[in-house]
Amino acid sequence: MRRIVQALVGIAISGAALWLTLRGKDVSAIAQEIRAADYRYLAPYVLTLLCIHLARTVRWGILLEPVAKLPFSRLNAVSAVGIMALVVLPFRLGEFARPYLVAERPRLRVSSALSSVVVERVVDGVFTGLLLVVTLLAVPDGAPGVRLLRTGGVFVSLAFLGLLAFLVVAYRNRGLAVRIAAALLQPFSPRLAARASGMLDAFIHGLRLVPSRRKLVLFFLLTAGYWGLNAWGMALLARGFGFDLGAIEACTLLGVLVIGVMIPAGPGMIGTFQGAIVLGLSLFASREAVATRGVAYANVIWAVQLAQQVGLGLFFLFSRHIQLGRIFAAPGAIEAGLDAEEADYQAAADGAGAARLPKD
């Protein structure tokens, strides 16, 4: 029932966002702009998306390497199917697919796999949030929505910096991190606090994702390259719709899009994706251009990204590295896996304590 409610809420958010994006627009003019676009930029953009996928996969492998060095073929298949699940399933439920699909006890536990994805998301959130804050400084104060976006960029940056600080504390002092989480949740629900503390304890056990210094530098270089390719690719495809975006404009548009798709929505992130693109373009282009060519561009880039992510995921879906039935079970299985691992850790700790007791 909870998953059904989440799905319905996500679909409702998508519907509202899509209605707001198209409200007052001439749909026939938008369709005409879609037909009239210069699609010579489409093939290089799709190639850029494939390079982005490879960079993301290699970067994830660097995070997992201290725990388990997995073959690239397995990482590539799981990454493709996991991203497909993320965009297809509503309310971002697909976030759990990658860590669950790649977990392989006893070599790679669920907690370690989940930790890698959380670290990845936190670093991306800090990077794109700060990027948006910096690039928006170049946007005139009179641009529509710029002050709200600046506030949003600062909020996102602070939120992810807070999460990063918590991960550092958790890595250095597991007990303190668990006590902080329990104290924050205790006023709302003691039962939830106890459950969350146990799951967090298991998660922190898996937080051993500190690569070597050389690999850490490579991780951050891949992060910068990954997001740089995203911005460059968006600017490339925008040329086909008559928008000449420089580096500042492209990075700003990317930052607005990242914040927009953080909102849980329906399958494919439909509605929130288009709305974010239109809002980002309105900072640099005229209202008339955004109402036609901008909306056309938003829908085409959404469709191309969705087709690439789903197509790549389907290609690997039936490979030997993927167990199809595990995808839909991932959210609940992650929770069960963390609970089971916490029980294992507690049993091991109890056993170690018993072994240290003096014997008669």
The tokens describing 48, both together, are 């850029």
For 252, half-sphere exposure in the C-beta direction (CA atoms, 13 angstrom radius) is: 25
Tell me how far CA of residue 274 lies from CA of 51, 76, 204, 330, in angstroms: 23, 28, 36, 28
Which residues are registered as beta bridge partners of 59? none
Q: Are 138 and 283 in contact, with CB atoms under 8 Å apart? A: no
The tokens describing 353, both together, are 């304590």
- CA-closest candidate to residue 321, choices 85, 102, 95, 54: 102
As a whole number of angstroms, the distance between CA 147 and CA 150 comes to 5
What is the pLDDT tens value at each position of the chain, 360 positions in all?
A: 766 777 788 888 888 988 888 888 899 999 999 999 999 999 999 999 999 999 999 999 998 888 888 889 989 998 998 899 888 877 666 777 788 778 776 667 777 788 888 888 888 999 998 888 889 888 877 777 788 888 888 888 899 898 888 888 887 887 888 788 788 877 777 776 676 676 677 677 667 666 778 888 999 999 999 999 999 999 999 999 999 999 999 999 999 999 888 888 888 889 999 999 999 999 988 999 999 999 999 999 999 999 999 999 989 888 776 766 556 555 555 555 555 555 554 554 555 454 444 544
Q: List the chain domain ranges.
A: 41-172+206-350
Tell me how far CA of residue 193 lies from CA of 133, 137, 186, 199, 295, in angstroms: 34, 41, 5, 10, 45
> What pLDDT shows up at residue 360?
42
> What pLDDT shows up at residue 327?
60
> What pLDDT shows up at residue 12?
87
SS3 of 108, please? strand
Query: Cis peptide before 106, with omega less than 30 degrees from 0?
Result: yes
The tokens describing 55, both together, are 């960079």
As a whole number of angstroms, the distance between CA 11 and CA 271 comes to 9
As a whole number of angstroms, the distance between CA 96 and CA 18 comes to 26
Which DSSP state fits 294? I
